[in-house]
Amino acid sequence: MNKVKEKAKSANFPYFIRYVTVFTLIFGTMTVLILQIMRSGIYSSVDGTLRNYSQNSEATVLAALRSLKSYTDNIAGIEKDLKNIEAPLSANSEVLLFNEDGEALSTNSHLLDTNNIQLDAKKKFYQIRQVEMRTTFGKKERFREICFPLELAQPIDGIAYAAVLINTSQIESTNQRNENTVIMVMLIFWSISLLASYYLAKLTMVPLLDSVQRQKSFIENASHELRTPLAVLQNRLEGLFRKPQSTILEESESVAASLEEVRNMRKLIANLLSMARRDDGIDPVLETIDAQFFEDTLENFELVAEENGKQFTYVNEFQGQIQSDKSFLKQLLTILFDNAIKYTEDEGQVGIHLFSQDRNGDLRIQVWDDGIGIPDAEKVRVFDRFYQIDKARTRQSTGFGLGLALAKQIISALNATIQVKDNSPKGTIFEITLSKESKKRYRNRNRKNASS
């Protein structure tokens, strides 16, 4: 019982109930429709036979006369007159004839116990009814019956009415077995649907739980990263509050440190907002990008490297054109370049190499450095949000572990690929590949989005 309560309180239980409800409605509706179709057609052939007899009095009389002893002498003459009339009657059928007073004329029926049978004057003629009658074996069985007055071209004395009955007990028994089979099959499928519902509920919860876990981890990490600069700001401001007589010049170091922490928080918040926008699925805007775009971008990087005391080298061997998003591509290069600057020692070397890959025309971009490098075990995780290889060094470099996560999102948006390799003799190489095939796929997807 406790396990059942725990399952009922689990996160996927509501989804399980929804799937079970849907499957129950589907199989329930199918069962009702199938049974309704089976029941509606069970008497169609029988009722058709009854109506045919009610519309042909001669055939009805001919089918019944052979069992009447008192009319044996007239059978030959009547058959001669009705020789062109077909009067087929199956073994499970019976035709009863009645006189004007409603008394049965047939006394040796092969199917029914005709003793005390009286035609009910209250019965509506030409209306098919379901009745129960006792057979010659003393057993009650169900029949379809139709009663009607005889309309003969040559009236026969003593015969006024007829009742045609067809035994339906066997048909109903067969139909009942078929209905039970249908219900059993539907119950089996419904039981299977319970397992399917449980599986689908778990499958539905996987991305939701993953999303919740990533959101929870994201908030925890963001809170952790914001806690340090906020603590620094609080301490600095409290220190200034305790020295009301000090001038700004005297406390310039505290003011400068506080401003630096504010810049760090602004950068962190900007990165968080940028990642949130990427998560919402912002599509790149395609435009033609030539070699001059990379020249302008790399020249700016050269100035930044010089300000940070790094040696920067770039080689642009790409002379063609590509269709991509300029802002995304520039942000991607900036993130990788900034990452290389952070983890390269003073007077270290940072470089970017652009070239076309063989005859495929794929654009390769390599951003390399001779810094501390990345261990093989960490290369897969460097693109995780807030992941930092060296916490202490990252704090000194004002890093938050968001840059490469942003880079990975941009790579995905551009349908590109990125690899992390070791540089020789030390350092790291981030290699980006923009292939023709991926660009075609993106253009096709963009056309579909535009048409929709």
In this predicted model, what pLDDT tens digit does every residue of 275-310 receive, in sequence order?
666 555 567 788 888 888 888 888 888 888 888 889
Which tokens belong to 16?
A: 């399980």
Torsion angle defined by CA atoms of residues 248, 249, 253 and 257, in that order, rounded to the nearest 10 degrees: 40
Let me know if domain 44-167 sits in CATH 1.20.950.
no
Measured distance CA(141)–CA(170) in Å, rounded: 9
Q: Would you give the end-to-end CA distance of the chain in angstroms?
A: 51
Measured distance CA(66)–CA(205) in Å, rounded: 77
Asked if omega into 207 is within 30° of 0 (cis), the reply is no
CATH for 284-451 is 3.30.565.10
* Residue 365 pLDDT class (50, 70, 90 cuts): very high
Strands, sheet with 129-134, edge to edge from the N-terminal-most edge strand: 93-98, 161-167, 140-149, 129-134
Give the predicted TM-score (pTM) of the model.
Answer: 0.47
| The predicted structure's pLDDT at residue 404 | 84
Alpha carbon 312 to chain centroid distance?
52
What share of the chain has pLDDT > 70, as a percent? 76
- Give whole-number Cα distances, 81 to 40, 336, 390, in Å: 39, 109, 115
Does residue 390 contact residue 376 with C-beta atoms inside 8 Å?
no
Does residue 374 contact residue 394 with C-beta atoms inside 8 Å?
no
Q: How many CB atoms lie within 10 A of CB 272?
A: 18
Measured distance CA(176)–CA(264) in Å, rounded: 79
**Where in the chain are the domains?**
44-167, 210-277, 284-451
| The predicted structure's pLDDT at residue 399 | 56
CATH topology of domain 210-277: Helix Hairpins (1.10.287)
| The predicted structure's pLDDT at residue 445 | 47
